[in-house]
Amino acid sequence: MYAGLGLLKPLLAHEGVPAAGTVVIGSVKGDLHDIGKNLVGIMLAGAGFEVIDLGNDVAAERFVDAACGHGASVIGLSALLTTTMPVMREVVNLVRAAASRIESR
């Protein structure tokens, strides 16, 4: 699969594509699967997004810190294992808490 990704990346990542924003992506804590995340990242980059790929087994706090640090407007959470779904909820809750702190300033 990774050999295929290597072939697809240059075809999808066209030069001169206008910047579309920043996206932080990663596989949530407890999940080491990343093929789907990598495919989405390549497609986003090809569409003009700056993709900050945090890798796999990423803690909820790291997603929020990276999004704030890079000014990302989108966080992409990847998971194959249903047992890691609570981490997705944790990320959502942390984003909401961070937004509330920013709005109250």
Q: How does residue 101 score in pLDDT terms, banded at 50, 70 and 90?
A: confident
Q: Which CATH class is domain 18-103?
A: alpha beta
Q: Between 2-12 and 35-46, two packed helices, what is the crossing angle to 10 degrees?
A: 10
Q: How does residue 100 score in pLDDT terms, banded at 50, 70 and 90?
A: confident
84, β-bridge pairs: none
The domain ranges of the chain are 18-103
End-to-end Cα distance, the chain? 46
- Does the predicted TM-score (pTM) go above 0.95? no
Q: Where are the alpha helices (DSSP H) in 1-105?
A: 2-12, 35-46, 60-70, 85-103
